Amino acid sequence: MYINIKNLLKEGKTTQEVTLKGWVRTFRSNRFIALNDGSTIENVQVVVDFENTDEEILKRITTGAAIEVKGTVVESQGKGQSIEVQATEVHILGDSNPEEYPIQPKKHSFEFLRENAHLRVRTNVFGAIMRVRSVLAFAIHDYFQQNGFFYVNTPIITGSDAEGAGEMFRVTTLDAKNPPLTEEGNVDFKKDFFGRETNLTVSGQLEGETFAMALGKIYTFGPTFRAENSNTSRHLAEFWMIEPEVAFLDLDGNMDLAEDFIKYVLKYTLERCREDIEFLNNRFLEEEKTKPQNERSSMSLIEKLEFVINNNFKRVSYTEAIDILKNSNHNKKKKFQYLIEEWGADLQSEHERYLVEKHFQSPVILFDYPAKIKAFYMRLNEDGKTVRAMDILFPGIGEIVGGSQREERYDVLVEKIKAMGIDEKELWWYLDLRKFGTAVHSGFGLGFERLVLFATGMTNIRDVIPFPRTPQNAEF
Amino acid sequence: MYINIKNLLKEGKTTQEVTLKGWVRTFRSNRFIALNDGSTIENVQVVVDFENTDEEILKRITTGAAIEVKGTVVESQGKGQSIEVQATEVHILGDSNPEEYPIQPKKHSFEFLRENAHLRVRTNVFGAIMRVRSVLAFAIHDYFQQNGFFYVNTPIITGSDAEGAGEMFRVTTLDAKNPPLTEEGNVDFKKDFFGRETNLTVSGQLEGETFAMALGKIYTFGPTFRAENSNTSRHLAEFWMIEPEVAFLDLDGNMDLAEDFIKYVLKYTLERCREDIEFLNNRFLEEEKTKPQNERSSMSLIEKLEFVINNNFKRVSYTEAIDILKNSNHNKKKKFQYLIEEWGADLQSEHERYLVEKHFQSPVILFDYPAKIKAFYMRLNEDGKTVRAMDILFPGIGEIVGGSQREERYDVLVEKIKAMGIDEKELWWYLDLRKFGTAVHSGFGLGFERLVLFATGMTNIRDVIPFPRTPQNAEF
């Protein structure tokens, strides 16, 4: 049996005989192998007795090669590591031709690594990101399960197109070139696999609500899709979303939940992924150094995480926010691309960033937005013009959470559905929730990759998901 | 603040004042409300002082109505419960018209409940199933994270169609009726969203392998899809799958992992969902009673779970299994629809069931299948005709796990890809794993809904997923 490097370093026991299996990161002076097996960002140094090792084997110890090492754990002579392994045997499991292997021990551009997404996770940066992503995902399940929420897998393929959250992908088995047609000459979706037109889900919220109104507290955590042609560093066509939904919870409770949840998962991850996040922290600081002084972050990655964990998010109504923005020097000096002139304006990314990064210098929860710029299912306030919506805005990321108290009143909801031109028959089951045992309830959606961006200090969302899907790109 | 019923019953403290919110399950004698809030299968009995309660309120306490109750916790007079709540106030939050509400306190057919999937989780059976499903999902994450595996979200939309695991759904944004055509008159998928033809994934295995060959131990847990027109009680078009993949692990280790994993998650769930599983156990026994004596299960649901948890799975080679089947009385008396005549035959469900339910009366791991009936990526044995594949067969369920040691040798893999008529260029990235630092590695896939079926004693897979997707059905 062999031991993984994480456990080997944790035990730190010398004099024991071990077997290691992993991949060569570097091999220098024909003597020192930096060996990594993915269990941790740390390599273990393997010292080869080159005078007693076959020349043919030494030649095959190249970056990327898989090897098995038997040897003795001893105190390390080198700095920065407590132990090393003196090899008694080295076996080559799989070669890696240095002329061909793309991941050499040098700096590769992120774009190059995206094109080699099947191999990039063998680098320190992407290994760290993907381990952090995994722990963060578990922290999310852990938080909800500990707090009495039930995990619900809402459908991915949906016949319901009423939510209007964005452009959708069609899912079909019809012949692409010659689809069956109706007598009127339209595509006959009755002949499609599901007997109707179907799409990939943009959100599990509506289905999630049906479960919250039975089990009380639920959450989803699954893939969602947007067929929008946005080639930005913040958008993916396929991304993972977390959507809790809670019966008997109002908007204030919803804000408390979201804030508590985010703090918990970031704290959990910071504690358990210390080495990975320290590595990413250094990478972040290096990157910041390449920027002009006035664009550099005032905090390191770890400081940003600790700031969020330890400080209350500022809660600000949309109306207050508009006042702040309208009266800001930024607005007066026309530094915004979209000037804020009156109540009712939809906030752009530049406004959100101003509030979070300049004005409050803190995560911000904006609430009570104008009904006109928000979705039909959000609860109308007594003023008749705002809804119980909330968005959480994060420095460097922008919107990370969008949520609301849901409209629980049947008549009001029907009216809003009609006003938005949605066919109310499509939503018969959603309306049933308001006909049978309706109650106040709330929920939110959190884009998982945005959270991973924040936790890792990365800036392009394509670098925090294993195989990004974006316009013109579905490789692998 | 209000308390949920699970915590109320756990505390069991009398004399305290509480506020409860939930849904009325039944209301009898104008006095006793069975209240449920989804946190547990247990209802709490609320006793209404009907002489001092408004007649109008009493009328509105109907099955399905959402109510808020304030009252005092007292020792219960009734049997089967330790406490009850004497109401001082009852507020109707949401009415439920008994003339219209579909979920009345009587036995509904599962088919009727499937048509009301948005409300069925308000019944005891489906509440229990969905809570068990949630805990089982968490147990899966817990097992892998505790054992050093990293969670990987492999892509849902894929441009790779090489795996050949089944029929696929096309994902597209092209105009359904008039798609753009190439000069040759074919559909021009270069103009589609991703610049190529894309489908919904049938498995994350191949992408998962890329991560295992960097991080060592990984698992996926996400939705997968099959566009097969099978209307059976065991198939869904959309289902969730768990796929671990481990570097440096051979087939024996893979069998150990799968067995240990299944036992852990079932034990975890049985311990934490005791009330729900006891309820489902009773339902199972009731259903068994409706069957002829000779078709009844010899074990209750809980006995079946404990049997799997406490006994070793039988490990049997395909070759041994064929011998057993060929020489069985079943075969000789021609009771099989497909008679077993020679080595190489693909096993049908009837054969698997015979082995598991009649011959071994235990979960069975079959291994070393003929290469010809298995996928291209499975490792060829030295005999040149079998591959290091394994299937785990469960009583009543059939195949619950399918896995293998993967072919790690570049030349052998290329040859198998060619022999299967797959374009090797499509798999350039998969082949790279064998070019750069290849090593023995293994993994398996487990259909989550099959496991939920087993854990809940249900028989139709449509009843263990919130909103089933099957041919002609994508409602909700």
B256 touches chain A (CB under 8 A): no
> How many CB atoms are closer than 10 A to CB A287?
14
The pLDDT value recorded for residue B397 is 87
Question: Is residue B140 in a domain?
Answer: yes
Exposed/middle/buried for residue A99 (C-beta within 10 Å: 0-12, 13-18, 19+): exposed
CB contact under 8 A, B437 and A64: yes
Q: Do B171 and A173 touch (CB under 8 A)?
A: no
| Confidence at B164, pLDDT banded by 50, 70, 90 | low
Q: What's the mean pLDDT when you consider all of chain B?
A: 95
Task: Give the distance from residue A466's alpha carbon to the nearest chain B alpha carbon, in angstroms.
Answer: 7
Measure CB to CB from residue B121 to each of A131, A151, A215 and give the nearest one. Answer: A215
Q: What was the pLDDT predicted at B163?
A: 64
Do A145 and A246 belong to one domain? Answer: yes
Cα-atom radius of gyration of chain B, to the nearest Å?
27
Shared domain check, B84 and B195: no
Of A227, A439, A469, the CB nearest to B173: A227
For A40-98, list the strands marked E by DSSP: 44-47, 66-75, 83-94
pLDDT at A1 (0 to 100): 67
Q: How far is B261 from chain A (nearest CA, A)?
A: 17
Alpha helices in B216-342 (DSSP H): 251-272, 274-289, 301-310, 318-326, 329-332
How are strands ordered across the β-sheet holding B238-247?
A: B150-151, B217-225, B238-247, B441-447, B398-405, B386-394, B364-370, B314-317
The amino acid sitting at A446 is L
Decide if B346 is inside a domain.
no
User: Containing H/E element for A52?
Assistant: none
Domain shared by B186 and B243, yes or no: no
CA pair distance A254, A404, nearest whole angstrom? 8
Is beta strand A441-447 parallel, antiparallel or unpaired with respect to B17-28? unpaired
Nearest to B153 by CA among B248, B84, B223: B223
Of A131, A433, A474, the CB nearest to B157: A474
**Does A173 reach chain B within 8 Å, measured CB to CB?**
yes
In degrees rounded to 5, what are phi and psi of residue A140?
Answer: -65, -50
Tell me, yes or no, if A186 comes closer than 8 A to chain B by beta carbon: yes
pLDDT number for residue B166: 76
User: How much is the average pLDDT of A360-385?
Assistant: 96
Q: Is B334 left (phi over 0), alpha (psi -120 to 50) or beta?
A: left
Which are the contacts of B87, defined by CB distance < 8 A and separation ≥ 6?
A: B33, B46, B47, B48, B49, B53, B69, B70, B71
Q: Is the minimum CB–CB distance between B466 and chain A shorter than 8 Å? A: yes
Kindly state the tokens that stand for A365.
């929860």
Q: Is A83 helix (H, G, I), strand (E, B) or coil?
A: strand
Are A194 and B473 within 8 A, CB to CB? Answer: yes
Using an 8 Å Cβ cutoff, are B194 and A471 in contact? yes
Q: Which of A210, A430, A474 is closest, CB to CB, to B198?
A: A474
Residue A286 lies in a domain: yes
For the segment A43-51, the average pLDDT, to the nearest whole number, is 95
Answer yes or no: is B257 within a domain.
yes
Nearest to A186 among B159, B177, B436 (CB): B177
A1 contacts chain B (CB < 8 A): no
A162 interaction partners in chain B (CB closer than 8 Å): none
Say how far apart CA A413 and CA A380 lie, in whole Å. 9
Contacts A127 to B, Cβ<8 Å = 214-215
Digit-coded pLDDT (tens) for A164-204: 667 999 999 999 999 999 999 999 999 999 999 999 999 99
**Helices A124-146, A274-289: inter-axial angle, 10-degree rounding:** 130
Q: How far is CA A400 from CA A164, A443, A452, in A?
A: 19, 14, 11
- Contact flag A21-B169 (C-beta cutoff 8 Å): no
Residues with Cβ within 8 Å of A334's Cβ and at least 6 positions away in sequence, in order, are: none
Query: Do A133 and A88 share a domain, yes or no?
Result: no
Verify whether the Cβ–Cβ distance A214 to B156 is below 8 Å: no
Structural domain contains residue B451 = yes
pLDDT confidence of residue B15? 80
Asked whether residue B291 falls in the same domain as residue B368, the answer is: yes
Residues A132, A252 within the same domain = yes
Alpha-carbon distance values, A91 to A47, A86, B98, B155, B417 (Å)? 14, 14, 74, 34, 28
A78-98 average pLDDT score: 92
Rg (CA), chain A: 27
The answer to whether B153 and A240 are in contact (CB under 8 A) is yes
Same-domain pairing of A271 and A180: no
Interface of A with B in 389-418 (CB under 8 A): 408
Question: Are both B62 and B83 inside the same structural domain?
Answer: yes
Q: Per residue in B387-407, pLDDT tens?
A: 999 999 998 888 999 999 999
Q: Are A216 and B39 a contacting pair at CB < 8 A?
A: yes
- Whether B435 sits inside 8 A of A159 (CB atoms) is no
Contacting B residues, span 119-148, partner chain A, CB-CB under 8 Å:
119, 121-122, 127, 130-131, 133-135, 137-138, 141, 145, 148
Of A201, A224, A258, the residue at which a domain comes to its end is A201
CB hemisphere CA count around A189 (13 angstroms): 13
pLDDT at A105: 87
Instruction: Look up the ipTM and state it.
Output: 0.97
pLDDT above 70 (res B233): yes
Inform me whether the C-beta atom of residue A35 falls under 8 Å from chain B C-beta atoms: no
Indicate if the pLDDT at residue A420 is higher than 90.
no
Q: Phi and psi dihedrals of B92, rounded to 5?
A: -85, 120
pLDDT of residue A160: 78
pLDDT in tens, A400-418: 999 999 999 999 999 999 9
A437 touches chain B (CB under 8 A): yes
In chain B, the N- to C-terminal Cα span, in Å, equals 33
Q: Can you give the pLDDT at residue B373?
A: 94
**Residue A43 in domain:** yes
Interface test with A, best of B425, B436, B469 (most A CBs within 10 A): B436
**Which residues make beta-bridge pairs with A243?**
A220
> B41: domain CATH number?
2.40.50.140
Cβ-defined contact of B96 to A437 (cutoff 8 Å): yes
Q: What is the maximal distance between C-alpha atoms in chain B?
A: 86
- Give A162's pLDDT tier (boundaries 50, 70, 90): low
Rounded CA gap, B331 and A402, in Å? 61
Tell me the β-bridge partners of B17: B72
Please indicate, yes or no, if residue A384 is contained in any of the structural domains. Answer: yes
**Per-residue pLDDT averaged across B46-56, rounded?**
94
pLDDT of residue A80: 74
Model confidence at B105: pLDDT above 90 = no
Q: Does A420 touch chain B (CB under 8 A)?
A: no
Tens digit of pLDDT for each residue in A244-299?
A: 999 999 999 999 999 999 999 999 999 999 999 999 999 999 999 999 998 888 89
Do A178 and A252 lie in a common domain?
A: no
pLDDT tens sequence across B52-102: 999 999 999 999 999 999 999 999 977 778 899 999 999 999 999 999 999
Q: What is the pLDDT of residues B244-285, one digit of tens each?
A: 999 999 999 999 999 999 999 999 999 999 999 999 999 999
Smallest CA–CA distance, residue B296 to chain A, in Å, is 32
Token representation of residue B257: 């992992």
Mutate to test the interface with A, among B118, B144, B172, B178 (most CBs of A within 10 A): B118
Put simply, whether A118 touches B (Cβ < 8 Å) is yes
Identify which of B300, B430, B305 has the alpha carbon closest to the alpha carbon of residue B363.
B305
Determine contact: B428 vs chain A, CB below 8 A. Answer: no
Q: Which of B22-26, B161-165, B187-191 has the lowest mean pLDDT?
A: B161-165
Q: How many structural domains compose chain B? A: 3
Displacement of CA B4 from its chain's centroid (Å): 28
A277 touches chain B (CB under 8 A): no
Write out chain B residues lying below 8 Å of A431, CB-based: none
Q: Which of A201, A224, A259 is the last residue of a domain?
A: A201
- Residues A322-329: what's their mean pLDDT? 96
Q: Search chain A and give the residue with CA nearest B116.
A: A429
Query: Between chains, do B174 and A176 touch, taking CB under 8 Å as contact?
Result: yes
Q: Give the domain extent around A189.
A: 167-201
pLDDT above 90: residue A334: yes
Rounded to whole angstroms, the Cα distance separating B24 from B61 reads: 7
- Within 10 angstroms of residue A245's Cβ, the number of other Cβ atoms is 32
CATH of the domain at A253: 3.30.930.10
> What local confidence, expressed as pLDDT, does residue A163 receive?
64
Contact B394, B400 (CB under 8 A): yes
Same domain, B27 and B75: yes
Distance CA B312, CA B263 (A): 10
Q: Read out DSSP for A396-413? A: TTEEEEEEEEB---HHHH
* Domain's final residue, options B75, B94, B113: B94
Within a domain: residue B290? Answer: yes
Whether residue A153 lies within 8 A of chain B, CB to CB, comes out as yes
Residues of B in contact with A131 (CB under 8 A): 150, 215
pLDDT at B439 over 90: yes
Count A/B contacts: CB-CB distance under 8 Å: 334
Mutate to test the interface with A, among B10, B68, B153, B269 (most CBs of A within 10 A): B153
Q: Is A167 on the interface with B (CB under 8 A)?
A: yes
Query: Is A431 near chain B, with CB under 8 Å?
Result: no
How confident is the model at residue B1, as a pLDDT? 67
Task: Look up tokens 């944004």; give the residue.
Answer: B173
Question: Which has the closest alpha carbon to B72: B41, B42, B49?
Answer: B49
Least Cα separation, residue B217 to chain A (angstroms): 8
Rounded Cα–Cα distance for residues A114 and A470 (Å): 12
Classified as helix, coil or strand, A423 is coil
CA distance linking residue B243 with residue B250, whole number of Å:
16
Q: How far is CA B183 from CA B178, B180, B186, B190, in A?
A: 15, 10, 7, 12
Give A-chain residues touching B153 at CB under 8 angstroms: 133, 137, 223, 240, 465-466
Q: How far is A53 from chain B (nearest CA, A)?
A: 20
HEC-encoded secondary structure of A121-168: HHCHHHHHHHHHHHHHHHHHHHHHHHCCCEECCCCCEECCCCCCCCCC
Question: Which element (helix H / strand E) includes A274?
Answer: helix A274-289
Q: Do A144 and A256 have their domain in common?
A: yes
Which residues in chain B have their CB less than 8 angstroms from residue A20's CB?
none
Give yes or no: residues B264 and B154 share one domain: yes
Strand pairing of A314-317 and A364-370? parallel
Output the pLDDT for position B374: 94
Mean pLDDT of chain A: 95
Task: Judge residue A100's burial from the number of C-beta atoms within 10 Å of its C-beta, 0-12 exposed, 13-18 middle, 19 or more buried.
Answer: exposed
The rounded distance, in Å, linking the Cα atoms of A347 and A385 is 17
d(CA B363, CA B400): 10
Q: Is the pLDDT of residue A209 over 90?
A: yes
Which contiguous run of DSSP H or E holds residue B90?
strand B83-94
Q: Quick one: CA dihedral B332, B336, B341, B343, positive or negative?
A: negative
| C-alpha–C-alpha distance, residues A36 and A47, integer Å | 14
Confidence of residue B332 (pLDDT cuts 50, 70, 90): very high
**AA identity, residue B302:** I
